[in-house]
Amino acid sequence: MGGEREIQISKTTKTTEGTTLGTLRCHEKSGEIHFHDDTNKRKVAIPTGEWFKLYERLTAEAPNQVQYADSTNQTLLSIKSKIHKSKSGETILDLKTKIKPLKIAPDFAALQKFTRG
């Protein structure tokens, strides 16, 4: 729908094209990884290098949580890894994800403008 290597993520479906994170859609475009919550019309765009740093932190140990604040789209992505047992007794590593609206405070906006020019 929006870029290269797009994946749909659902808790029960894995495809040869990737994995789905709850109700989020994710793809790579123009040097960024985009996460979309199509139901709530929210998007988080993360520079690819920054995403790989977040992913390394997320997978370093479980359970763990990472967050990314996208000030341009005024959204916050939260991904939490979790371990649970299935009904058959298997240990499963899973994810809980969400994108929430984010209000940018004037002081943060001023610092960002100063830094980015």
Integer Cα distance of 9 and 34 in angstroms: 13
pLDDT of residue 38: 84
C-beta contacts of 113-116 below 8 A and 24+ residues apart: none
Integer Cα distance of 82 and 79 in angstroms: 10
pLDDT of residue 2: 59
pLDDT of residue 12: 34
Average pLDDT over the chain, rounded to an integer: 84
**pLDDT (average), residues 62-76:** 94
Q: Residue 20 — pLDDT band, cuts 50, 70, 90?
A: low
Q: Which structure tokens are listed for 90?
A: 């298997």
21-33 pLDDT, tens digit each: 567 889 999 999 9
Structurally, how many domains does the chain consist of? 1
pLDDT of residue 7: 56
Q: Which domain holds residue 89?
A: 4-116
Higher-pLDDT residue of 53 and 20 is 53
